[in-house]
Amino acid sequence: MNLSKAFLFILSKVLIIFFKSRTIKHILNLSVDEKKEFLLKILNENQRFIDLEKEEYSDNNSLKFIQNYNQLPCTIETRKKRADLLEINGFRDKEVLLMGDDDLVSVELALRNFKHVTVLDCDKNLLSKLKILTSEAKFPINFFHIDLYHGIPNYLNKLFDVICFDPPQNSKDLDVFLHSTFQAIKYGNSSFYMMLNSSAIGEKELSTIIKLINNNGFFQHNKIEYFNCYPLNKGQSILLTFVSFFFKSIKKNKIYIKCRYYFTDCYEFKSHITNSVNQDNFDVKLPESNNSNKYIKDVSLPFFTISRS
Ligand SMILES: C[S@@+](CC[C@H](N)C(=O)[O-])C[C@H]1O[C@@H](n2cnc3c(N)ncnc32)[C@H](O)[C@@H]1O
């Protein structure tokens, strides 16, 4: 291990103590080589994005590395691309669940007259904003205030043909979002879209996740690299640019690249089966904490629901 690698290793171990965010802890815990790969990919994509003159600056001057509820809204272009994906794949008349929606995809789906859209989120303020932004929708959207750490309420079990989510990028949250997906999704003819930066999550972790998904009756149908783009705030941009200076190869070639964007891939999973089958056929195990009485009692009631006509 050379000197800068050793320094970065020690720095990461010290920083882990100070950061509360599971996402930052996860990235700091990656090996030095994994961190390097993660940064290289992000910086190369930043360069490509800027070369294509696609810049969409964030006017957010905040220095916070992680926003409330791990929120990091995507660009307008990304939001439209997600709606395109759902439209092209024929989900306009289907039951769609957006599990977390700081990206405002529901606003785009409302504009396109999607018929059955449900949004759940743990952020009440965001839900109020979405309610206002979609108030003119031809087909009203259902909103639920739910913290997935308390589990998905029974009334949402096995309802959805398609689920779309962009989870906090760390193992614990991913596990919670995935188990909620397996609870809420229909078993037959269903799909889900998961936004994930595979190099931020690490190879080993990714293969565990894919195995869990396969064991629950879904297979990977598609992966679209760098599908999602997120403008960083000032603090996040400085942090990523700063950390990249520890890697010689990045420093030599990419010294002038300022990291303004974060990217994730879009994974599409489809159910193995085309008809409804008994859920006992699959290995659906809730995280242990979800089985406790405490969580069952605490399940959030709907914050507000705009019922369909
Ligand atoms: C997790 S954030 C986006 C993460 C970001 N794209 C990233 O790469 O780290 C997506 C949405 O999920 C919501 N969210 C986060 N944790 C949640 C939870 N435990 N239950 C319900 N919604 C949650 C947030 O409020 C937000 O609107």
pLDDT digit string, tens, across residues 213-242 = 999 999 999 999 999 999 988 888 887 777
217 lines ligand 1 (CB under 6 A): no
**In this structure, what token pair is assigned to residue 135?**
């108030």
Query: How many angstroms separate the Cα of 264 from the Cα of each of 21, 158, 226, 227?
Result: 18, 27, 5, 6
Nearest to 193 by CA among 224, 226, 165: 165
Q: How far is the CA of 124 from the centre of ligand 1 (A)?
A: 12
Alpha-carbon gap, residue 254 to 110, rounded angstroms:
41
126 lines ligand 1 (CB under 6 A): yes
Which atom number of ligand 1 is nearest to the Cα of residue 102? 27
Q: Which residues pair with 176 in a beta bridge?
A: none
Which atom number of ligand 1 is nearest to the Cα of residue 147? 20
Residue type, 246: F
- Every domain of the chain with CATH number 3.40.50.150 lies at 69-231+265-298
What pLDDT is stored for residue 303 in this prediction? Answer: 46
CA dihedral 108, 111, 115, 118 (to 10 degrees): 40
Q: Whose CA is nearest to atom 13 of ligand 1?
A: 100
Q: Full-prediction pTM beyond 0.85?
A: no
69 lines ligand 1 (CB under 6 A): yes
Residue located via tokens 């003159």: 53
- DSSP assignment of 120-144 equals EES-HHHHHHHHHHTTT-SSPPEEE
- Inter-residue contact 96 to 117 (CB < 8 Å): yes
Distance of CA 144 to the CA centre of its chain: 18
105 lines ligand 1 (CB under 6 A): no
Alpha-carbon gap, residue 62 to 293, rounded angstroms:
39
23 lines ligand 1 (CB under 6 A): yes
Residue located via tokens 């009631």: 301
What pLDDT is stored for residue 32 in this prediction? Answer: 81
CATH ID of 69-231+265-298, from 3.30.930.10, 3.30.70.360, 3.30.1360.70, 3.40.50.150: 3.40.50.150
Alpha-carbon gap, residue 295 to 79, rounded angstroms:
33
CA distance from start to end of the chain: 64
Alpha-carbon gap, residue 289 to 149, rounded angstroms:
9
- Inter-residue contact 168 to 143 (CB < 8 Å): no
- Inter-residue contact 308 to 139 (CB < 8 Å): yes
- Substitution site in 123, 146, 164, 233 for ligand 1 pocket (most atoms within 8 Å of beta carbon): 123
Low-confidence ranges of the chain (pLDDT < 50): 276-309
Q: List, for residues 133-191, the tens digit of each pLDDT value.
A: 999 999 999 999 999 999 999 999 999 999 999 999 899 999 999 999 999 999 889 99
